Amino acid sequence: MDKRVLYVLAAATVAGCAGIVLWMQAKPLNAEDLWAAYVQHPESTAISFTHPRDGTLFPPEIVPPTFRWEDGNAAASTWLVRVEFGGGQTPISRLSRVRWWTPASQDWELIKKCSLDKEARVSVLGVGPGRSARVVSAATITLRTSRDEVGAPLFYREVNLPFIDAVTDPSKIRWRFGSIASVQPPVVLTGLPVCGNCHSFTADGRILAMDVDYANSKGSYVITPIKTQMTLATSDIITWDDYRKEDGEQTFGLLSQMSPDGRYVVSTVKDKSVFVPMPDLAFSQLFFPIKGILCVYDRQTKVFRALPGADDPAYVQSNPSWSPDGKYIVFARAKAYDLQNTKGKGKVLLTREECKEFVEDGKPFLFDLYRIPFNAGQGGVAEPIAGASNNGMSNYFGRYSPDGRWIVFCKAKSYMLLQRDSELYIIPAAGGEARRLGGNTGRMNSWHSWSPNGKWLVFSSKAWSDYTQLCLTHIDENGDSSPPVLLAHLTGADRAANIPEFVNARSDAIAKIGEQFLNDYSFVRAGNEFYRHADADNAIQKYKQALELNPDNVEAHQKLGFLLYNVKGQAQEGMAHLRKTLALDLHNPRAHYDLGMALLHQQKIDEATTHLMEALRQMPNGLDDQYTPVRLHLTLGEALLLAGRSEEAKAHLARVVELDPTNPGGHYRLAQALAALGQMDPALLSYARALKLDPKVDVSPALHHFLADGYLRKRQFHEALGHEQRALALAQAQDDAQLVATLQKAVEYCRQLEQAAKP
């Protein structure tokens, strides 16, 4: 066989394998000859390393990293990677046809051994094509290996993007637990149909606490001992909604933190947050709280109470973090804000439409870091931390070092989570000059955690991918930080890693996390997320799963009834679920409204009116964006009009235009009620207002017939004829044969009267 064919076959066999020489041609190049040529003429410089950076310090237990570079010389088609050591150690030379190189395990162990506390030089030479190949580009960096081990495993979450996908289907979110020495830590938790979020551990790594959705509360929180085979049990769950439950306000309790000794948990309650999906894949969520106070739960006494000094409703107090001795809490604070479109409303998560001043107008929102003494839950005076407050920036996510000497925090131009420009800064724990960490990458640095020995900091970054990855930086005794080490091997290519936390435990301390708390309400919560994002099919599936567990789940029946009737066109099944809802809970206003609308659609006017009136009676101020007072009064007014109860309809339709003067349908239906009552002048005024707001609202033959009747009474036959003709045209467009026949006679009658009145 031709040797050239053999070379091609060999190249195909090993292509893409890291650490293997990929140079294959009729006359292979000699690495030493290339290096010698470069040493004689070292002027080529077009290469730049993207990872690692010059001066990077690696932990001793890390698996082989991938070296990546960019080459500005288009002539380069092959690259020589050369690693040189002091002390007479033979260099490592490898050739690659791609702009990256991952050392083989044997090479990497040698590199770490020979760079322990001393520099190794890594050079990459770009080589042009052809038999007389020459070096056309080059770059050199140095690296070292630290004697300081990381010494602890990581627990972190991997999320599918865009973030809205993870919100609507949280079952795809997964958690990993393991050492950076593993090729990829195992998945220990996945498949939850409800959201699990921020987590924290005690200082000794014996207790895990994590936000979860349980039953009908988004403020649920599970606290459970660490075991190899763990179970998140119902008995381990608390809910932040239990703080001042009598207020009737829902709480999410986001960004909660367990105290180092495990006795207390602190969280933000009575919260309201901007929570907006964004179109950019990398930054597909805008989230930050604009209202909330700090609340402490005492696991011994099982009591919730506000933390004095961090409980001022005039401010938002969020993302608390404990000092290692449990004596202080550092938290982010800003003046509470009531959005223009939500004033007086109590929603916990605010939509894009409600957050116009932030999403469209770019209104800034800045946080300062504050510190407060804990005093066994008695609190004290909260004071701004020098270097992390009043600096014209947003300061958040403060985390104490394990020895209590330092605080590392995030700083960005505005807001909080997922900020493109966020960077990590370090200050003395008592406050002082803020120094930018040398470990920062070029795009988003956030979600950081100290290793238990205080030597390393893990954080999230988007410098290399839209899918967030984890990085390490070494922090020395002076608070100086080394260039970032990318932990690309820890995360799947299609997932964003966030909320990494070092755990003071063995790397095999957690093998599997299961749950016992998935009940019918868990599936209702999952269905509600799909419902909120107009994904009817998945919502229906979740509600049906809830009913399999509990055939008497009221909310599942109500939501199924609405979706099946209004979205899927399955009227009979939808009606059955709505009637089942009321059989289980006669005081369910949503079901009364939905059933009333369905009956109205079926022209069962009297029964529809009864249910719509009951819905309004039970929720006179509405409940949410779907059941607003304007909508309740408008639909009831329409039903009363159809029932011939014009005086009652008038009262409800007048309420519509009082609540919303720009509602064209309200003005139009009010005109219809007024015309039916023979009140011509106000009817015409309301009709004119409706047309000015929206000409397309003019769809009712009845209105024009009533107006014609009013003009006839005033012997204004020409105007009466015009309205009867308009009524006839609308009836013909609606293909109502019986009404058309009636109106044709009315038109002819008006025409005869008009002719007879002419001189």
Q: From 458, 467, 398, 468, select the one nearest 428 (Cα to Cα).
A: 398
SS3 542: helix
Q: Where do we find the tokens 């960077």?
A: 423
> pLDDT at position 131, please?
64
Distance CA 131, CA 546 (A): 70
pTM, to two decimals: 0.74
Give phi and psi for 51, each to the nearest 5.
Answer: -165, 135
First to last CA, the chain: 114
By the 8 A CB rule, do 22 and 14 touch? yes
DSSP 8-state assignment for residue 181: T
> pLDDT at position 581, please?
93
Confirm whether 3-145 and 154-515 share one CATH topology: no
SS3 166: helix
By the 8 A CB rule, do 491 and 467 touch? yes
Q: Where do we find the tokens 């090729």?
A: 183
Distance CA 210, CA 201 (A): 9
Show the CA angle centred on residue 584, arms to residues 583 and 588, nearest 5°: 90
78 has which bridge partners?
127
Q: From 310, 459, 334, 337, select the one nearest 388 (Cα to Cα).
A: 334
> pLDDT at position 347, please?
58
Tallying the residues shown for the chain, one arrives at 759
By the 8 A CB rule, do 195 and 170 touch? yes
Q: Where do we find the tokens 């015309």?
A: 675
SS3 502: strand
DSSP 8-state assignment for residue 64: P
Q: Which residues contact 298 (CB under 8 A, 6 or more apart)?
A: 263, 264, 305, 377
Distance CA 645, CA 639 (A): 9
Distance CA 48, CA 73 (A): 11
Q: From 705, 700, 696, 703, select the one nearest 744 (Cα to Cα).
A: 705
Going by their DSSP bridges, the two strands 349-350 and 264-277 should be labelled as: parallel
Neighbours of 87 (CB within 10 A): 6
Distance CA 210, CA 559 (A): 29
Domains of the chain by residue range: 3-145, 154-515
Cα–Cα distance list, 69 to 47, 58, 73, 307, 382 (Å): 7, 18, 12, 51, 47
Q: From 585, 547, 550, 549, select the one nearest 564 (Cα to Cα).
A: 547
> pLDDT at position 486, please?
97
By the 8 A CB rule, do 82 and 38 touch? no
Cα–Cα distance list, 526 to 169, 515, 677 (Å): 7, 16, 49
DSSP 8-state assignment for residue 323: -
Neighbours of 247 (CB within 10 A): 12
By the 8 A CB rule, do 609 and 596 touch? yes
Which CATH number does 3-145 carry?
A: 2.60.40.3760
Distance CA 59, CA 50 (A): 19
Q: From 499, 469, 440, 489, select the one nearest 179 (Cα to Cα).
A: 489
> pLDDT at position 132, please?
62
* Position 479, amino acid: G
Q: Give the pair of three-digit tokens for residue 439.
A: 């470990």
By the 8 A CB rule, do 667 and 629 touch? no
> pLDDT at position 21, please?
34
Distance CA 18, CA 96 (A): 9
pLDDT digits (tens, 9 = 90+) for 668-716: 899 889 988 989 889 888 888 888 888 888 888 888 888 888 888 888 8
By the 8 A CB rule, do 525 and 218 touch? yes
> pLDDT at position 101, please?
97
Show the CA angle centred on residue 253, arms to residues 252 and 259, nearest 5°: 165
Q: Give the pair of three-digit tokens for residue 315.
A: 């401010």
The fold for domain 154-515 equals Neuraminidase (2.120.10)
Low-confidence spans in the chain with pLDDT less than 70: 1-29, 131-132, 193-196, 213-217, 340-349, 517-518
Is omega for the bond preceding 620 within 30 degrees of 0, making it cis?
A: no
Q: Give the pair of three-digit tokens for residue 370.
A: 């504050």
Distance CA 435, CA 476 (A): 14
DSSP 8-state assignment for residue 180: T
By the 8 A CB rule, do 254 and 198 touch? yes
Q: Give the pair of three-digit tokens for residue 448.
A: 């950081």
SS3 497: strand
Q: From 370, 386, 488, select the one nearest 433 (Cα to Cα).
A: 386
